[in-house]
Structure 1
Amino acid sequence: MIPMMKKSFFALILLCGLSALLLPQSAKAEGSPGKILMVVTNHAKMPNGKATGFWLAEVTHPWARFTKMGFGVDFASPKGGLAPIDPRSKDMKDADNKLFMETEGTQEALKNTQKLSEVDPKEYRAIFFAGGHGTMWDFPDAPGLSKISAAIYENDGVVAAVCHGPAALVNLKLSDGSLLIKGKKVTGFTNEEEEAVGLTKEVPFLLEDKLKEQGATFDGAEKFKVKVITSERLVTGQNPASAGPTADAVLKLLANLPLKN
């Protein structure tokens, strides 16, 4: 390459580099499918004194699928700050659990979750409520939960929940005051499953019964089997085994929904 061509070549490279730095963030993110808000519990103890929290695989299996498809995942909780992991769920033989716990920044994110009421719903294409028994105490009446979920849903977004995560759907109202789940088909941790784990008398209510009371058509599979239901833009999964498939159903919906600014 002759000297003049070399100078022109390097000048072009420098110009391209400077242009990339000067581009607005939205332009640099062009092509990104957007972000998903994952909501986890702050509740750490059951009435019997035993530790609870969110179920790890119900975060990690969806997280692995969402991030693989290029989505950003942010974490929020009713109070903000620390989101406790149910110690019974810390299975490090699970590949997604291991990947999540070893990925830089993930554990820090769970120690410093956003306060749900302070979240800007316009940033998210979907909201995903991870389960774990802790959700039964702090999801149903969490400040801001209805407002943020309704804003995402009514902006052609997706609301999803798995296992005990559908406790978030209890009392969740749209902007017109109607219950999101009324008239929709849903699933979640069944009465039979709650009895099988011996916590029927510990939880403040039975999730299956409460969802039915609020006008949803509840459909559960055999206990601990995979079950996912999509009803319009509401996706629910029955139990921990359903966490990944619930995320897959969310991704399928998002692939066919408009990407809004």
Structure 2
Amino acid sequence: MSTKRILAVMSEYGYWGIELVGPLRKLQAAGYAFDFVTPKGARSPCLPPSRDTTYVDPPLGVCVTTPEDAEMVDAFEATDALDATMNLSEMFPERPYYSAPDFLRALEAYYLKRIAAQKAAVEAYDAVLLVGGSGPIVDIVNNQRVHDLVLGFHAAGKPIGAICYGVAALVFARDFNERRPIIRGKHVTGHCIEYDYHDGTGFVGTDFNMGPPPYVLEYILSDAVGPEGQYHGNFGKPTSVIVDYPFITARSLQCSHEFGDRFVDVLTGGLTRSGW
């Protein structure tokens, strides 16, 4: 049964404005409402470069935030939509350490709580969206609770959308016993090497800068999909959006609006394959 609701997972270290607002506007126009969640419940800040129409992206050498996109993001930020951001740590349990006292009982309790949390999430939402930007590198990509959330939607056969560095979480969202990538054999896109920055340019204007990305997203995506799948960087093409159900992946901010269109096509038109 459709709930007409989307759960957007966001970083407490910042999101790239249009990578949320672009798909959000398209999905809202199609009748979908949004809830927002961060790892610990703090409101996700909008990364300053994503609202700055004079900001030149070093890898691309051009201004990447259009006046139209900046206006959309400013209008969204002026609302109270993110004030009700939920706390993922209150929704999903933490997996115990092997060194925990009474580990076996603690692990069994974790699995039961995880199953209940996954059931609640997939019953409440039609899809999950992993919002991009540099922030996800810090607290989304290697976040066990995010992985468990994504695994719940994957097991239920519900759409999983991810853009920019939000896509990286799909590499690591693996069943703890099987440890097999859920994107194995799939076609995906994401930040290609040519788009990678040398320093923490995505954090410009914040009080945090971790420097360059700690991994090359193209490499880890290529490895995770395996020989039967394929990573598509589509460098040189203005956009790169791939649908290989249940995954909808988008390379970077330039893809935000097309990403939203394909997300709508998946939810309302039954689209299962697109972009390659």
Q: TM-score, normalised by structure 2?
A: 0.70
Whether the aligned pair in 1 keeps the contact of 2:198 and 2:212 (CA below 8 Å) is no
Q: Identify if the C-alpha distance between structure 1 residues 198 and 134 changes in structure 2 by more than 3 Å, giving closer, same or farther.
A: closer
Whole-angstrom distance in 2 between the partners of 1:166 and 1:241: 15
Deviates more, 1:76-85 or 1:190-199: 190-199
Q: Percent identity?
A: 25
What is the Cα deviation at residue 248 of structure 1?
Answer: 1.5
Out of 53-62 and 74-83, give the one that drifted further.
Answer: 74-83
- Rounded to whole Å, the distance in 1 between the matches of 2:173 and 2:89 is 14
> Counterparts of 1:25-40 in structure 2 under 5 Å?
34-40=4-10
Within the candidate set 81, 85, 97, 2:73 is matched to 97
Equivalent residue number for residue 184 of structure 1: 186
Counterpart of 2:100 in structure 1 is none
**Partner residue in 2 for 1:134:** 135
After superposition, the Cα gap between the structure-2 partners of 1:143 and 1:174, relative to the gap in structure 1 and judged at 3 Å, is closer
1:111-144 deviation line (CA, Å, top 9, x unaligned): x343266163121111111111111122222132
Candidates 106, 123, 146, aligned match of 2:81: 106
In the alignment, which residue of structure 2 is the partner of 1:152? 153
Q: Which has the higher contact order (CA 8 A, sep 6+)?
A: 2
Cα distance in 1 for residues equivalent to 2:157 and 2:163:
20
Shift of 1:224: 7.3
Which of structure 1's runs of 4+ aligned residues deviate more than 4 A? 195-201
The aligned counterpart of 2:91 is 118
Higher-Rg structure is 1
1:54 maps to which residue? 15
- Tell me if 1:203 matches 2:213: yes
5+ residue gaps, structure 2:
54-66, 93-119, 202-209, 271-276
> What is the count of residue pairs matched by the alignment?
215
**2-structure distance, mates of 1:117, 1:173:** 21
2:43–2:83 Cα contact (<8 Å) kept: no
Partner SS for 1:100: helix
Letter in 1 for 2:181: L
Deviation at residue 174 of structure 1 after TM alignment: 5.0
Q: RMSD over aligned Cα, in angstroms?
A: 2.7
